[in-house]
Amino acid sequence: MSHQGADERRLSETLSNIKHKYVVLSGKGGVGKSTVAVNIAVGLTLKGKKTGLLDTDLHGPSVPKMLGLVSFLSSGDETHLEPAILYDGQLKIMSVQFLLQNLHDSVIWRGPLKHAVISQFIGHTMWGELDYLIIDSPPGTGDEPLSVVQTAKPDGAIIVTTPQEVATFDVRKSIDFCNKLELPVIGIIENMSGFICPHCNKETAIFSTGGGKRMAEELGIAFLGAVPIDPQFVSRSDRGNPMVDFTSAGKSMEAIRMIIDKIVL
Residues in contact with 236: Cβ distance below 8 Å, sequence separation at least 6, in sequence order: 242, 243
Among positions 39, 56, 191, 209, the unique one binding ligand ADP when judged by CB under 6 A: 191
Part of the chain binding ligand ADP (CB under 6 A), chosen from 5-13, 27-35, 92-100, 216-224 = 27-35
CB 2, min distance to ligand ADP, A: 36
Tell whether residue 233 is a contact of ligand ADP (CB under 6 A): yes
Report the C-alpha gap between 135 and 55 in whole angstroms: 6
CB 128, min distance to ligand ADP, A: 26
CB 35, min distance to ligand ADP, A: 3
Nearer of residues 22 and 233 to ligand ADP, judged by Cβ? 233
x-marked contacts with ligand ADP along 55-94 as a string, rule CB under 6 A: -------x--------------------------------
Q: Which helix (H) or strand (E) holds 231?
A: helix 231-239
Nearer of residues 3 and 202 to ligand ADP, judged by Cβ? 202
Report the C-alpha gap between 68 and 237 in whole angstroms: 8
Tell whether residue 190 is a contact of ligand ADP (CB under 6 A): no
Contact by Cβ (8 Å): 229, 192: yes
Part of the chain binding ligand ADP (CB under 6 A), chosen from 28-36, 112-120, 127-135, 176-184 = 28-36
CB 229, min distance to ligand ADP, A: 4
Beta strands in 5-74 (DSSP E): 18-26, 51-55
Nearer of residues 143 and 238 to ligand ADP, judged by Cβ? 238
Nearer of residues 57 and 131 to ligand ADP, judged by Cβ? 57
Part of the chain binding ligand ADP (CB under 6 A), chosen from 102-110, 180-188, 198-206, 225-233 = 225-233
Part of the chain binding ligand ADP (CB under 6 A), chosen from 3-11, 25-33, 102-110, 116-124 = 25-33
DSSP category for residue 125: B
Beta strands in 163-248 (DSSP E): 185-196, 203-204, 223-229
Q: Are strands 130-136 and 18-26 parallel, antiparallel or unpaired?
A: parallel
At residue 175's C-alpha, the angle toward residues 13 and 212, to 5°, is: 120
Report the C-alpha gap between 80 and 5 in whole angstroms: 17
DSSP category for residue 63: H
Kindly calculate the radius of gyration of the chain based on its CA atoms and give it in whole angstroms: 18
| Residue 181, number of CB atoms within 10 A of its CB | 16
Q: Which residues bind ligand ADP (CB under 6 A)?
A: 26, 29-35, 62, 191-192, 227, 229-230, 233-234, 237
